């Protein structure tokens, strides 16, 4: 436990100071400085800078804690699968950002690329298992796969419900309210029908595809968590005879 206290104390403490300074410069200091200083661009950037440094320090703290907890302790079957999943998210997000066919993948592609990149940075700081580590771990059972799959489905259902509910089209369907008010009922019904059809046929399937990535991650992690400490005797391979 003591190996976690040092990073939490220093990185977490400095991050807390950064957030306090961001709050002070964003709320109290503007009332005590001259108007010219208060209206300057650099002064407005100070709270953002402190908050950004605080968030960055918390992310570094997460990397340090994850590395100290999981270095060499994640089975190769999951370590490699997570690595490939994250790389797939980076490629998928990049393709969405530069696709020439639809604006909808572009809207969510940045989030996929951002979280995949952050995940890759975090995962790359966790040391993989030794070459013989997987030989000491029992194979995954059917119940482990089932529990991991159930956890993934539950997460995906919750994420899809939240994403669809928050992104479902509603009046005025991307049109300025003043312009929307000038339309008659027939025109409004036509716009609403087109927006709902586009959402159901394009955006909703993409949201489901988008949430496959966190669902797959939960499946990979969940099946290992429910395995406990089941281990098997390592496989002892006979040494090759001299002269073979």
C-alpha span between 7 and 60 (Å, rounded):
9
Give the model's pLDDT for residue 236.
52
User: 106 near 99, Cβ under 8 Å?
Assistant: yes
For 201, residues 6+ apart whose C-beta sits below 8 A from its C-beta are none
Question: Partners of 231 in the beta sheet?
Answer: 137
User: 161 near 204, Cβ under 8 Å?
Assistant: no
User: 104 near 203, Cβ under 8 Å?
Assistant: yes
Considering only the C-alpha atoms of the chain, give the largest distance between any 2 of them, rounded to a whole number of Å.
92
Chain centroid to CA 45: how far? Answer: 27
User: 50 near 16, Cβ under 8 Å?
Assistant: no
Give the model's pLDDT for residue 240.
53
What are the structural domain ranges in the chain? 1-70, 75-130, 138-232
Give the model's pLDDT for residue 244.
47
Q: Which of 141, 139, 143, 147 is nearest to 76 (CA)?
A: 139
What pTM did the predictor assign? 0.79
| DSSP conformation letters of 57-124 | HHHHHHHHHHHHHHTTTS-HHHHHHHHHHHHHHHHHHHHHHT-SS-HHHHHHHHHHHHHHHHHHHHHH
Give the model's pLDDT for residue 88.
95
Q: What is the mean pLDDT of each run of 10 residues along the chain (244 residues)?
A: 84 95 90 83 91 96 93 90 95 89 83 94 90 81 93 95 88 86 88 89 87 94 76 53 50
Give the model's pLDDT for residue 183.
87
């Amino acid at each position: 436990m003591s190996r976690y206290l040092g990073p939490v104390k220093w990185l977490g403490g400095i991050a807390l100071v950064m957030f306090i300074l961001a709050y002070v410069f964003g709320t109290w200091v503007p009332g005590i400085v001259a108007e010219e200083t208060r209206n300057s661009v650099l002064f407005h950037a100070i709270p953002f800078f402190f908050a950004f440094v605080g968030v960055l320090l918390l992310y570094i703290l997460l990397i340090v804690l994850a590395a100290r907890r999981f270095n060499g302790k994640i089975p190769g079957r999951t370590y490699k699968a997570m690595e490939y999943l994250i790389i797939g998210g980076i490629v998928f997000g990049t393709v969405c950002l530069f696709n020439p066919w639809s604006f909808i993948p572009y809207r969510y592609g940045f989030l996929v690329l951002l979280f995949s990149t952050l995940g890759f940075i975090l995962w790359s700081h966790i040391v993989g298992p030794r070459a013989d580590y997987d030989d000491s771990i029992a194979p995954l059972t059917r119940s482990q796969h089932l529990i991991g799959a159930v956890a993934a489905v539950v997460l995906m259902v919750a994420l899809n419900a939240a994403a669809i509910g928050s992104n479902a089209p509603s009046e005025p369907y991307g049109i300025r309210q003043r312009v929307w008010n000038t339309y008659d009922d027939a025109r409004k019904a036509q716009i609403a029908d087109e927006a709902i059809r586009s959402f159901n046929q394009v955006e909703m399937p993409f949201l489901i595809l988008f949430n496959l990535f966190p669902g797959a991650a939960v499946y990979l992690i969940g099946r290992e968590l429910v395995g406990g400490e089941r281990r098997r005797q390592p496989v002892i391979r006979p040494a090759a005879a001299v002269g073979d």
